Structure 1
C-alpha cells in the first residue's frame, strides 16, 4: 500500500520524513557545518519559520571539500536532506515569490553550485530526480527553437503524449519555454509524480524526433559525395547518441514517478 498522502499538493511520506530530519539540523549542525545563508544561494530552508527563509549558498569550504574528497556519506546526506527540505518548504508556502525563486535557481545560483549538491545522486533518488528536472528546464529553454522543431517531427499528429506533456500539436518556441516552467513548477506545487510523467512524455517525443531526423540524414548522406557523406553520417550518429541518452533520462523520470507513488522516492 502506498504511503503517499492523498492530497496531491503534499509531499510523499519519505520526503516529509527527510524534511523533518533536516529541520532538526542547524546551519552548524551535523552535515551542514559548511553551509551559510545567502540571498543568492541554495540550502535546506529553516522549516517552520514565520516567513519564507532565504536560500543558502555553498561556501568555498564545502565546495573544496567535495572536490577534494569529502566523505561520500556526508555528501549523500546533504543531497537528500536539502532536496527533501526544499520540496517540503515550497509545498507548505503560500508565497508565489518562493516558487519563483525555486523555479529560477539555475539562473540565480548557477548550475555548478546546484551540481555540487545533486549531480552525483542516483537517478532513483529525490535529489537525482530534481537535478534532472532542473537540467530539463534549462535545456528546453536554451534550445527551445530546435526542440520545438523536433517535437513537430516526433509528434506530427497529437497523441496521448501531447496530452500528458501538455504540449500543443505544433508548439512554438514560447510554448516550449512555458512547458519547461510548467513541468518544474508542477513538481513543487502540484502532483510530483504527474510532473515526472509529463517530463518523461515530453522527452520521449523529442527522442523520437531525433531518431527520425537521424534516419533522414542517413538516407540523404547516401546520395552525397564521400566526404560530405562522412560528415552527415557523423552528425546522424550524434543525434542517435543524444536520443539514447535522453531515452535513459525519460526512463529515470518514469521510474521516479512510480517510486513517488509508492512513497519510496527519497
Structure 2
C-alpha cells in the first residue's frame, strides 16, 4: 500500500475502516514474520519505516489505542527510529544513570557503558525480537530501556541551573514523562500479550 492510498478512497478514508485495517495489518505482519525463516523478510519488516517512510504506518497505526497490537507496534517502530537517530545522546543519558550493569541493563540487553553503535544494535534487536522471538520479552526490553532513559532525562533536568533555562528544563521533564508513559504502555502490552489479550 502506498502512503497516500487512503487519501484517494472515494469520500476520504472512513475512520472505522482505517481502524480495522490497522488492526488487521499489524496482526498479518506479525504472523507473517513469525512463520518465516527468510532473513530478507525479517530485514524488510525491520526497516519498513526506513524504506517506506513513517507516513505509511502512521496512516494505519498511529491513531490506534496504545493497548492494541498496532498501537504497540507503532511505538516500537518510533522507538527504533529514535534510538538509531539519536544514539549518541541516548547512550550519554543511559551511562549517566546506569554506570554499572543492573537489572534494567540485563532486561534491555545492554552492556556496561553502551556506545551509540550499541544503542543502534539494541534498537534493531528489540524490534526484530518482537517479530521473530517472544513478543512480550521484546516489550519488556523496550519498557526497561525507556524507563532508564526517562530517569536520565529527569536527572539532566534536576542538574539544570535554576533560572538558566526554565523552558529547557520543562522540555526535559516533559520528555521524561512521555517516556515513562511509553514504558508503562510497553509493560502493559507485555502483560496483555502473555494473557492473549493484545489485539
TM-score by length of 1: 0.72
What are the ranges of 5 or more consecutive residues in structure 2 without an aligned counterpart?
none
* Equivalent position of 1:136 in the other structure: 79
Post-superposition offset of 1:159: 1.3
Query: How far apart, CA to CA, are the structure 2 residues paired with 1:175 and 1:59?
Result: 31
User: In the alignment, does 2:192 pair up with 1:259?
Assistant: yes
Map of 2:147 onto structure 1: 204
- Structure 1 or 2: larger helix share? 2
The answer for the alignment partner of 1:187 in structure 2 is: 130
1:111-260 equivalences under 5 Å are: 111-217=54-160, 221-222=161-162, 229-230=163-164, 232-260=165-193
Tell me if structure 1 keeps the 8 A contact 2:7–2:13. Answer: no
Give, in whole Å, the separation in 2 of the partners of 1:200 and 1:65: 37
Number of equivalences = 199
| Inter-CA distance 153–65: structure 2 relative to 1 (3 Å threshold) | farther
Aligned partners of 2:157 and 2:3: how far apart in 1? 44
1:91-130 map, 5 Å: 91-130=34-73
Distance 1:79 1:154 in 2: 37
Aligned to 2:7: 63
RMSD: 1.5
Runs of 4+ aligned structure 1 residues displaced above 6 Å come to none
Larger radius of gyration: 1
TM-score of the superposed pair, with normalisation by structure 2: 0.96
User: Contact 1:63 / 1:116 at 8 angstroms: preserved in 2?
Assistant: no
Q: Distance in 2 between matches of 1:59 and 1:122?
A: 21
Equivalent-residue separation in structure 2 for 1:60 and 1:186 (angstroms): 29
1:142 is displaced (CA, Å) by: 0.3
Q: Is the 8 A contact 1:79 1:117 kept in 2?
A: yes
- In the alignment, structure 1 segments of 5+ residues that lack a partner are 1-56, 223-228
Aligned pair 1:86/2:19, yes or no? no
Say if 2:10 is the partner of 1:77. Answer: no
Assess if the C-alpha contact under 8 Å between 2:90 and 2:119 holds in 1.
Answer: yes
CA positional deviation for 1:236:
1.2
1:62 CA displacement: 1.6
